Amino acid sequence: MIGTEDKPLRVAIVGSGPAGFYTAEHVLKHEGTHAEVDMFDRLCTPYGLVRFGVAPDHPKIKSVIRVYEKTAARPEFRFFGNVEVGRDLTVDELRERYHAVVFAYGTATDRHLGIPGEDLAGSHPATEFVNWYNAHPDFADREFDLSCERVVVIGNGNVAADVARMLALTREELEETDTADHAIDAFGASSVKEILVLGRRGPAQAAFTNPEVRELGEMANADIDIDAEEMELDEISREWLESEDADPTNRRNVEIFTDFSGREPEGKPQTIKLRFLRSPIEIQGDGKVERIVVGRNELQRDESGRIRAVDTGERETIECGLVLRSIGYKGVPVDGVPFDERAGTIANEGGRVKDDGHQVAGLYAVGWIKRGPSGVIGTNKKDAQETVDHLFEDLEAGKVPDTELAGDRGAIEALLNERKPDHVTFEGWQAIDAAEVEAGKPHGRPRVKFCRLEEMLEASKVTKTAA
C-alpha cells in the first residue's frame, strides 16, 4: 500500500512559491500517511513571488518564509533548485519517479493589451519591472528608462500600486530594503516627476486592497492626486456599492480615494496621479514611447450583470516616456500537461488535472497555475488544502498510480547528478541566503540579493562545514 513507512507516498512539487510550500506542508502533515516531498524550481532560490514579487518595501509580508523554512527542515523534504521541469526533466520522468506530481509553478508571463504601440521600446509589462527591481536573474540586464518626467501605469491592481510606490521611493528609503542594487541606482537617478495610474473602470471597481491604496497617500516624496469630480460616482457604481455584491474593500477604497481627492498638494517632488474610466488606445512614439492615447470610458452592465468599461469615443493624448502595463499575469503550459489556453491555467478541477474532462492520474495543480493570478499569499493555503485533500481522496480510492521507481528515493538524485549536476539543494540555498544576509549587514539592509546565476551557484557551494 502506498503511504506506509515501508512505502511512503512520494510527491514531486514543481515550483517553490507559497502554493508549493503550503502543498508540501499539507502533504507532510497528513495524519496516518508516510509521505516524502521533493520540490523543484527552475531558479536556485525558493519562495517564488515572496522573493521576486512582493515589493521590497513590504518586508513584513516576507516573514511568511519562516513557515516555509519549518516545512523545509523536515527530513522528508528535499529541494532541487536550478532544475527546470520541461527542460532539464520531463513531466514523464517525474511521473515515473513519483506517485503524484503537483504543479505549483505560477503564472510566468503577462497579459497583453492588444493595442498598437504596445511593443515600442519603453512599454513594458509591469511583471518585468517587478522582476527587475527584485533581482530576478533573468531580468538583471533589463533597462527601464527613468529619464522621463511622466510614467504611465495601466491597471488598478496591487501590482500597479506596488510599481507606483517603488517609482516614488527615495534612494534613502530604498537603501533600507533588499531592492536590487542596479534598481536602487536607477531609481536614485530617476527624473520621474509624475506617476499616472490609469484604471479602465471607476474608483469603486478598482482591484487594489485598502492598505495598498492608503500607502499611496503616505509617500514621503510624492503627493497623491485624485480628481474630486471623478469621485462623484455614476449611478451604476453607487447602486452597486450599496448592494450586497460589493465588497467592503471596494467601499473602503472609495472612502480613501474621496479623502485623497480633497487634499491640497504639499509640493513634494513627485505626484502619484490616479485617473479612472480611462483605457489605453495606442502607444505612440518614434522608435520609443513618447505619448499614449487614452480613451474615456463609461460604465455599463453587460447581459451577465458584470460592470464593464465601454469606450465613449472621447480621446486624450498624454506625453510620457515609460508605460508599465499592469493588467495581470498569465500562465504558460508545460509539455505533457493539458492546458486551458483561455484561462491561462493547467486544465483542472479542484486541482485534479483533467484532459478533456477526464482525470489524468497522478497529476495535480495548485496556486495561480490552478486558479489564475488572484488572491494574496494566504489564499494559497486553502487552495493547497483543496488540492491535497483531492490527492489523498484519490490515494484512498486506489487512483494514485504506482511505479517501480517511486519506491526509490535515490532515483531522482541519480538522474539529476548525471543530467543537472549543478542543481542546488536546500543546503545550497541556505548558503546563498547566509551570504546575502551577511552582505546586507554592514549597510543595515535585510540582504543584498545576488542577481546572477553564476554568483548564486558559487555561493551555494559554501557549505556550513566549509564556512
Minimum CB–partner distance for residue 249 and ligand NAP (Å)? 10
Binding flag, residue 160, ligand NAP (CB under 6 A): yes
Which three-class secondary structure state does DSSP give residue 253? helix
Q: Report the helix count and the strand count for the chain, using DSSP H and E.
A: 16, 20
| 150 touches 194 (CB < 8 A) | yes
Measure the CA angle with vertex 58, ends 43 and 126; round to 5°.
60
Binding flag, residue 177, ligand NAP (CB under 6 A): no
b/e map 258-292, b = 16+ CB within 10 Å: bebbeeeeeeeebbbbbbbbbbbbbbebeeebbbb
Q: Which is nearer to ligand NAP, 82 or 279 (CB)?
A: 279
Which three-class secondary structure state does DSSP give residue 225? strand
| 168 touches 153 (CB < 8 A) | no
Q: Which of 156, 177, 190, 271 is the binder for ligand NAP (CB under 6 A)?
A: 156
Residue 166 half-sphere exposure toward CB, CA atoms < 13 A: 31
Q: Which is nearer to ligand NAP, 114 or 410 (CB)?
A: 114
Minimum CB–partner distance for residue 187 and ligand NAP (Å)? 18
Binding flag, residue 375, ligand NAP (CB under 6 A): yes
Element (H, E) at 312: strand 307-319
Minimum CB–partner distance for residue 375 and ligand NAP (Å)? 5
Question: Which stretches does DSSP call E strand in 55-180?
Answer: 77-80, 100-103, 109-110, 123-125, 150-154
> For ligand NAP, how many residues bind (rule: CB under 6 A)?
25
Element (H, E) at 223: strand 222-226
Site string for ligand NAP, 277-296 (x = CB under 6 A): --x-----------------
Binding flag, residue 159, ligand NAP (CB under 6 A): yes
Site string for ligand NAP, 203-232 (x = CB under 6 A): --x-x-x--x--------------------
Check residue 265 and report its DSSP letter. Answer: P
| 87 touches 335 (CB < 8 A) | no
Site string for ligand NAP, 299-328 (x = CB under 6 A): ---------------------------xxx
- The residue number whose beta carbon is nearest to ligand NAP equals 157
Q: Which of 162, 215, 230, 383 is the binder for ligand NAP (CB under 6 A)?
A: 162
Q: Which is nearer to ligand NAP, 129 or 392 (CB)?
A: 129
Give the contacts of 141 (CB within 8 A, at least 6 positions apart): none
Q: Which is nearer to ligand NAP, 19 or 89 (CB)?
A: 19
Binding flag, residue 331, ligand NAP (CB under 6 A): no
Site string for ligand NAP, 179-208 (x = CB under 6 A): --------------------xxx---x-x-
Binding flag, residue 297, ligand NAP (CB under 6 A): no
Binding flag, residue 14, ligand NAP (CB under 6 A): no
Minimum CB–partner distance for residue 348 and ligand NAP (Å)? 19
Taking alpha carbons only, the member of 328, 324, 327, 323 closest to residue 107 is 328
Binding flag, residue 123, ligand NAP (CB under 6 A): no
Q: Tell me the residue type at 303.
A: E
Binding flag, residue 157, ligand NAP (CB under 6 A): yes
Q: Which is nearer to ligand NAP, 29 or 112 (CB)?
A: 112
| 453 touches 140 (CB < 8 A) | no
| 317 touches 296 (CB < 8 A) | no
Check residue 264 and report its DSSP letter. Answer: P
| 377 touches 18 (CB < 8 A) | yes
Q: Which of 21, 52, 105, 329 is the binder for ligand NAP (CB under 6 A)?
A: 329
- In whole angstroms, give the CA distance from residue 129 to residue 324: 8
Minimum CB–partner distance for residue 87 and ligand NAP (Å)? 26
Taking alpha carbons only, the member of 29, 37, 65, 137 closest to residue 377 is 65
The piece of 337-345, 372-380, 386-394, 432-440 that touches ligand NAP (CB under 6 A) is: 372-380
Q: Which is nearer to ligand NAP, 156 or 460 (CB)?
A: 156
Q: Which is nearer to ligand NAP, 33 or 379 (CB)?
A: 379
Q: Which residues contribute to the site for ligand NAP (CB under 6 A)? A: 113, 154-160, 162, 199-201, 205, 207, 209, 212, 279, 326-329, 373-376
